[in-house]
Amino acid sequence: MPIISHYRQLLRSDLEAPHVERQFGRGWISGVAALALAISSLFLVIGLLFPAWFTFEKTRSFYQTPAFHLGLLVLLIAAFVMAIISLVLRQNKILGFTSLFLVVLATTLGGANAHSQMAEGSPVYLGMDWFVLNVIFTGILFIPLQLLFPRYPKQELFRFEWREDLFYYFVSTMLVQLLTFASLWPALTLTSHTHWDALRAAISGQWLWLQIVEIMFLTDVVQYWVHRAFHRISWLWNFHAVHHSAQVMDWMSGARMHFMEIVVLRGFTVIPMFILGYSQTALSFYIFYVYLHSTFVHANFGWNFSMLGRYLVTPRFHHWHHGIDKEAIDVNFAIHFPLLDRVFGTYHLPKDEWPTGYGIAGHPVPKGYWNQFWYPFRKK
Ligand SMILES: [Zn+2]
Ligand SMILES: [Zn+2]
């Protein structure tokens, strides 16, 4: 529909407005905040209406609590107030009116008091709430961090190909159920065929911190070789090239990853954790750490970490992995310990230097989620 695509174009061009139109007091910050809050509220209301279809199983019980209803009400009010501020301050009203419309829509659908319209459960669901919670949480954490300590101070929030990366984020969080199932399946199958109860009891009885360090090390050894295979074997590289097609590094760039790669990489790396029987607490700590860390290493964060960077993977280390420079090809495969790259001869971290750019020379990967999805299956 031409009218919808025209409207989307207008909205997008205001999000990507020139610097002068985005300064404090121009209503852009409040407009963007209003839009993010309004979309989040609407998604959460839809989650309340159809919990068995649109909410993550693990977080579902939380939506019945008074705290959640209060939180959602605050979110809706905040979105409304921000929209009004933007409408008053900003000449271009598209952000303000869009947000206002979404707030009214969310309220009409029941707002914070929306009740489930479903009589029965559903075996399959999409994590619409999971998307909202993830974007809000990582956004609140990493956007200010990037503003305070940027590697590239001129890089915008709505930078080159931000919509593609946000869509990657959207898909991988919406499909949380499928991804969890597919990536745990190999490990759980192996676990059910191995009867190492004494060993598992001994491992889960260790100190918690020791278990976490061991998990980090073992997963990193597996991850290192799977990752290296993705670089060296040409048909696998076509999948991984999608991750490397990012020409800008920030908190959303890590989300760009081919669906098959997510399944394979996670499927392999979780094997040692499950088969060796690490405690649930250790697994939870590790999963939370890796979630924050993988966002962090892609972020536009400018610290050099000269000392720490020798022992733990930092943004500069992983930025070199994404570098477009010749010396950045096939280096720094580790995700936790640069030691692995030193041992296996793929370490590259010149003192205080950063790559001159990101991506793959010649930019062979097409643009857009679906083109990139089919890219590995197409004849080259
Ligand atoms: Zn890579
Ligand atoms: Zn990466």
Residue 71 alpha carbon to ligand 2 centre in Å: 34
Cα maximum dimension of the chain: 69
Q: Which ligand is nearest to the CA of 246?
A: 2
Residue identified by tokens 């309220």 is: 107
The alpha carbon of 223 and the centre of ligand 1 are apart by a number of angstroms equal to 11
Q: How far is the CA of 227 from the centre of ligand 1 (A)?
A: 6
- What's the 167 CA to ligand 1 centre distance in angstroms? 20
Ligand 2 centroid–CA 243 distance in Å is: 6
Q: In whole angstroms, what is the distance from residue 107 CA to residue 376 CA?
A: 43
Which ligand sits nearest to residue 296's alpha carbon? 2
Closest ligand to the CA of 341: 1
What b/e sequence results for 301-312 when a residue is b if at least 16 CB atoms lie within 10 Å of its CB, and e otherwise? beebbeeebeeb
309 token code pair: 């960077």
Helix, strand and coil content of the chain, in percent to the nearest 5, comes to 65, 0, 30
- Cα 318 to averaged position of ligand 1 atoms, centre (Å): 9
Which of 353, 252, 333, 243 is closest to 299 using CA atoms? 252
Residue 148 neighbours by CB distance under 10 Å: 9
User: pLDDT tens digits, residue range 244-291?
Assistant: 999 999 999 999 999 999 999 999 998 988 889 899 999 999 999 999
Q: Among 57, 55, 31, which Cα is nearest to 45's? A: 55
Predicted pLDDT of residue 57: 84
| Tokens (6 digits) for 346 | 């793929």
Contact at 8 Å (CB) between 334 and 220? yes
Report how far ligand 2's centroid is from the alpha carbon of 298 (Å): 6
How far is Cα 153 from Cα 97, in angstroms, rounded to an integer? 30
Distance 256 CA to ligand 2 centre (A): 8
Q: Kindly report the average pLDDT of the chain as a whole number.
A: 92
Q: Which two tokens mark 107? A: 């309220």
Distance from the CA of 359 to the center of ligand 1, in angstroms?
A: 11
Q: How far is the CA of 56 from the centre of ligand 2 (A)?
A: 26
Query: Ligand 1 centroid vs 367 CA: distance in angstroms?
Result: 18
Q: Are 30 and 85 in contact (CB under 8 A)?
A: yes
Angle between helix axes 162-174 and 259-275 (nearest 10 degrees) is: 50
Cα of 177 from ligand 2 centre, angstroms? 23
Tell me how far the alpha carbon of residue 244 lies from the centroid of ligand 1, in angstroms. 6
| Residue 244 Cα to ligand 2 middle (Å) | 7
265 contact partners, CB below 8 Å, separation of at least 6: 223, 226, 227, 230
**Closest ligand by atom to 333 CA:** 1
Q: How far is the CA of 221 from the centre of ligand 1 (A)?
A: 15
Q: What is the 3-state secondary structure (H, E, C) of 172-238?
A: HHHCHHHHHHHHHHHHHHHHHHCCCHHHHHHHHCCCHHHHHHHHHHHHHHHHHHHHHHHHHCHHHHH
Tokens of 185: 């399946």
Q: Which class for 168: exposed (0-12), middle (13-18), buried (19 or more C-beta within 10 A)?
A: buried
C-alpha to C-alpha distance for 252 and 206, rounded to whole angstroms: 36
Ligand nearest to the CA of 224: 1
Determine the pLDDT at residue 2. Answer: 85
Nearest Cα to Cα of residue 72 among 98, 109, 124: 109
Question: What pLDDT is stored for residue 335 in this prediction?
Answer: 96
Q: Which ligand is nearest to the CA of 236?
A: 1
DSSP structural state of residue 368: S
Q: How far, in Å, from the CA of 321 to the mean position of ligand 1?
A: 6
Distance CA 225, CA 340 (A): 10
Taking the centre of ligand 1 as the mean of its atom positions, its distance from the CA of residue 277, in whole angstroms, is 29
Provide block-wise average pLDDT over 10 residues at a time, the chain (380 residues): 89 91 92 95 92 86 89 95 95 94 94 82 86 92 95 92 94 89 89 86 91 95 96 95 96 95 92 89 93 95 92 96 94 96 95 94 92 90
Closest Cα to residue 55, out of 176, 170, 184, 181? 176
**Which two tokens mark 248?**
């800008």
Amino acid at 184: L
- In angstroms, the CA 15 to CA 123 distance is 38
pLDDT at position 267: 92
Residue 52 has what pLDDT?
87
DSSP structure class, residue 158: S
Residues in the chain: 380
The rounded distance, in Å, linking the Cα atoms of 262 and 255 is: 10
Q: Which residue has the tokens 């139109």?
A: 21
Ligand closest to Cα of 241 equals 1
Q: Is 120 left (phi over 0), alpha (psi -120 to 50) or beta?
A: beta
